[in-house]
């Protein structure tokens, strides 16, 4: 029996949705369905889920397996942790989810440096917005999260390391009319269509909290990816916002122009955080990684 199939069965019972769990696991729905089918075959083709109803319902057999699966996983994880103490070879999977700035521009260097000391560690990082990253952490789908905003979540639930600082800036095409001037007035900005980040984005959350005039912008649509925003802006009359760190790289490549607004020398600023659940017990190598990030 594959222990991870059992783990995903427990998660599925909590999610009550193949599609939602598959999305959070970053696997296909058919792969997840295959895993459940393999568990059913393990017990001579019993049915774990009642597939005749539209809602998610475990069968009686599924309820029994769920009870035992939780006990099995608890024993397995405790056993594994005990045995790894005797191993001279430190190897472990570490799962991280992060928004674009920490995930693509800050954490990769930290991860590579850590792997120089622990080459057998397997660190997997996926990119999601800040809200999705915190949700995955709360569901204990991952070990750590890198975020640009806590959104509406209670900070007291987490242990927090500040790993960077950032500002939000307005951007436009290098050929845009606004790009001709070193500084512009806010009244000029609202004459052009604006691309917003999606709800759940740390960039958008901080921008709306700190920039008092955001609702006066001529918002036309939302995009949930920084590269797509850069692409959309670089050859159009649209304007948008970006992390200054990301924007400077795009400006150096002559893809966009950072705009400076007379009335607002600082549009918005934020800290970038690396977090874990406060009450979550970490295994040996995960503790070492957490302490390494601190330094």
Domains parsed from the chain with CATH numbers: 3-84 (1.10.10.10), 93-164+272-294 (3.40.190.10), 166-269 (3.40.190.290)
| Separation CA 72–CA 272 (nearest Å) | 38
Could you tell me the maximum CA-CA distance found in the chain, to the nearest angstrom? 73
Question: What's the pLDDT at 214?
Answer: 94
From the CA atom positions of the chain, what is the Rg in Å? 23
| Separation CA 238–CA 219 (nearest Å) | 10
| Separation CA 89–CA 63 (nearest Å) | 38
Question: What's the pLDDT at 90?
Answer: 63
CA atoms within 13 A on the CB side of 163: 28
Output the six-digit token pair for 70.
């939780």
Beta bridge partners, 255, equal none
CA angle 39, 8, 89 (to 5 degrees): 105
Task: Specify whether the CB–CB gap between 94 and 294 falls below 8 A.
Answer: no
Question: What's the pLDDT at 89?
Answer: 62
| Separation CA 229–CA 65 (nearest Å) | 47
DSSP state of 14: H
Q: What's phi and psi for 172, nearest 5 deg?
A: -150, 180
CA torsion sign for 241, 242, 247, 250 is: negative
| Separation CA 99–CA 146 (nearest Å) | 6
Question: What's the pLDDT at 54?
Answer: 81
List average pLDDT for each run of 10 residues in the chain, which is 295 residues long: 92 92 89 94 93 87 96 91 73 91 94 91 92 93 95 91 96 96 93 95 94 94 94 95 96 96 94 95 89 94
Question: What's the pLDDT at 229?
Answer: 96
- 221 Cβ partners below 8 Å, 6+ apart? 195, 196
DSSP state of 197: E
Q: Which helix (H) or strand (E) holds 257?
A: strand 257-259
């Amino acid at each position: 029996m594959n222990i991870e199939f059992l783990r995903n069965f427990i998660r599925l019972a909590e999610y009550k949705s193949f599609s939602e769990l598959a999305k959070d696991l970053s696997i296909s729905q058919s792969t997840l369905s295959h895993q459940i089918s393999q568990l059913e075959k393990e017990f001579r083709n019993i049915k774990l889920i009642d597939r005749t109803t539209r809602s998610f319902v475990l069968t009686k057999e599924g309820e029994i397996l769920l009870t035992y699966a939780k006990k099995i996983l608890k024993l397995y994880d405790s056993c594994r942790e005990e045995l790894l103490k005797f191993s001279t070879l430190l190897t472990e999977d570490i799962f991280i989810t992060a928004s674009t700035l920490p995930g693509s521009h800050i954490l990769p260097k930290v991860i590579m440096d850590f792997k120089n000391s622990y080459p057998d560690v397997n660190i997997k990082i996926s990119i999601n917005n800040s809200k999705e990253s915190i949700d995955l952490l709360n569901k204990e789908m991952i070990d750590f999260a890198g975020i640009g905003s806590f959104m509406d979540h209670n900070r007291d639930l987490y242990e927090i390391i500040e790993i960077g600082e950032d500002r939000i800036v307005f951007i436009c095409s290098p050929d845009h009319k606004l790009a001709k001037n070193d500084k512009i007035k806010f009244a000029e900005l609202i004459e052009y269509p604006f691309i917003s980040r999606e709800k759940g984005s740390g960039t958008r959350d901080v921008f709306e909290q700190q920039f008092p005039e955001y609702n006066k912008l001529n918002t036309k649509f939302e995009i949930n990816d920084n590269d797509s925003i850069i692409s959309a802006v670089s050859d159009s009359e649209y304007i948008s916002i970006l992390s200054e760190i990301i924007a400077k790289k795009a400006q150096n490549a002559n893809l966009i122009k950072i705009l400076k607004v007379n009335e607002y020398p600082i549009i918005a600023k934020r800290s970038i955080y690396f977090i874990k659940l406060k009450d979550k017990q970490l295994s040996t190598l995960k503790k070492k990684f957490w302490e390494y990030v601190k330094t």
